[in-house]
Structure 1
Amino acid sequence: MPKIVDHELYRKELLAKCFDLFAQKGYSSITMRQIAQELGVSTGTLYHYFPRKQTLFEQLVEEINQQEMLMAMAELEGIQTLQEKLEAVGRYLSKNEDYFIKLTYILVDFRQHQDSKETWGNGVFKRVDDQSRQALKDILGIQDPALASFILSLIDGLILERLWGNENIDFYEQCALLGKILTAYLSNKEINCQSSSGR
């Protein structure tokens, strides 16, 4: 009887193994043949699942984003206040610091080797960015898109600081401070809205 292969599961297993390869060798420095060798599969098998290296990379980014959202939601489950949620985000970032530094390195390396006419706002990267922004809004209970963008940018900046070796950055401390700032900002905004509508 022939072996039954769950192709979707196998594709995800291949993608998971590629994360460390891209982190170690860089996007531009590794070929599909080398990826196949490192994964222990034939180049034909690799090309069957991913017709080009960029396709493999884009699917990896999508898969990573899905996994990140699931892990973040699990981490914040049952937490009520914005302050507590952002403190939990800080703990989550601290616990997974090496992973986020590798991911940032991989994305910067990939972007560095793309045609400058291609924008980040197209295709898979726009989709991933939109999904991340929506997940953040849902998790934190924030509906303002500009505020969600601000929070994501701050988190990305913290990760970049750590990537550059800044030991003074503490994810928990920064996220706790952000929680205080946002709580005060949203409270003040609500008071201003109530006073304007009461006139």
Structure 2
Amino acid sequence: MPKIVDREAYRRELAIKAVDIFTEHGVNGLGMRGIAEALGISKSALYHYFTSKEELFKASTEVFLEPTSLYGLAEGEGVPQDKKEMLTKLVIALDSRFRGELTLMLDYTKDRSAQQVSEDSLLAIANQKFKGELGNIVGDSHADQAYALLFGGLTMRLLNGEQTKIEDIVQWVLDIPNKNGH
């Protein structure tokens, strides 16, 4: 009897696994053959679920931006309602994969003009998601500042060998509305 596969569930599983592959190798580091090998499936099987590497990358990006992944939550765990706890979970989750994500982002944008980057739908989705989450914490009017401070703090932490503490980054972001008089 043939094995019955839930196409969408398996497609999602492949996209989840591909997040780590893209983070490790970049967007341009592997072709579909290399990605298929890393996933442990044939290239033709991968093409059955994704018509291109770009389609797989888009699916992986969408999975990465879901709350479970974004906040590093266990399956079934909800996003905390307390702003400090919410931001702490977000910073810890981002920090755990920041080097790979930064490398991936640079690889993804390196051969693109400023206009191409500004018109890229995946980057727009990611930016909106991050700014939306930060807006929930510090208010929409401070989301851009929080976004810059969060990624600046994570970059400092990366470059100074984790001397910048996660708690400090969290507090810097939480202090934004107070410093702006709101």
TM-score w.r.t. structure 1 length? 0.74
- Cross-structure match for 2:13: 13
- Cross-structure match for 1:100: 98
Q: What letter corresponds to residue 128 of structure 2 in structure 1?
A: D
Moved over 6 A (4+): none
In 2, Cα distance between the equivalents of 1:11 and 1:141? 35
96-105 or 150-159: bigger deviation: 96-105
- Cross-structure match for 1:49: 49
Contact residue 31 and residue 53 of structure 1 kept, 8 A: yes
In 1, Cα distance between the equivalents of 2:117 and 2:179? 36
- Structure with more relative contact order (C-alpha pairs < 8 Å, separation 6 or more): 1
In 1, Cα distance between the equivalents of 2:143 and 2:152? 14
Deviation at 1:32, TM superposition (A): 0.7
Contact residue 90 and residue 176 of structure 1 kept, 8 A: no
- Cross-structure match for 1:130: 128
In 2, Cα distance between the equivalents of 1:165 and 1:119? 28
**Residue 140 of structure 1 pairs with residue 137 of structure 2:** yes
Which structure 1 segments of 5+ residues have no match?
80-84, 190-199
**Residue 111 of structure 1 pairs with residue 109 of structure 2:** yes
In 1, Cα distance between the equivalents of 2:154 and 2:177? 20
Residues 38-90 of structure 1, C-alpha deviation per residue, up to 9 Å, x if partnerless?
1111111211222221221122112101144565793422x2xxxxx246523
In 2, Cα distance between the equivalents of 1:13 and 1:38? 13
Q: What letter corresponds to residue 98 of structure 2 in structure 1?
A: F
In 1, Cα distance between the equivalents of 2:27 and 2:148? 23
1:129 to 1:91, Cα distance in 2 relative to 1, 3 A: closer
In 2, Cα distance between the equivalents of 1:20 and 1:69? 14
In 2, Cα distance between the equivalents of 1:103 and 1:131? 15
Deviation at 1:123, TM superposition (A): 1.4
In 2, Cα distance between the equivalents of 1:180 and 1:132? 18
TM-score w.r.t. structure 2 length? 0.80
Larger of the two Rg values belongs to structure: 1
In 2, Cα distance between the equivalents of 1:100 and 1:23? 9
Q: What letter corresponds to residue 112 of structure 2 in structure 1?
A: D
In 1, Cα distance between the equivalents of 2:94 and 2:160? 16
Taking only the aligned residue pairs, the percentage that are identical comes to 25
Contact residue 94 and residue 171 of structure 1 kept, 8 A: yes
1:51 to 1:120, Cα distance in 2 relative to 1, 3 A: farther
In 1, Cα distance between the equivalents of 2:133 and 2:90? 15
**CA-based RMSD:** 2.6
Which structure 2 segments of 5+ residues have no match?
none
115-124 or 167-176: bigger deviation: 115-124
- Cross-structure match for 2:178: 183
Q: What letter corresponds to residue 76 of structure 1 in structure 2?
A: P
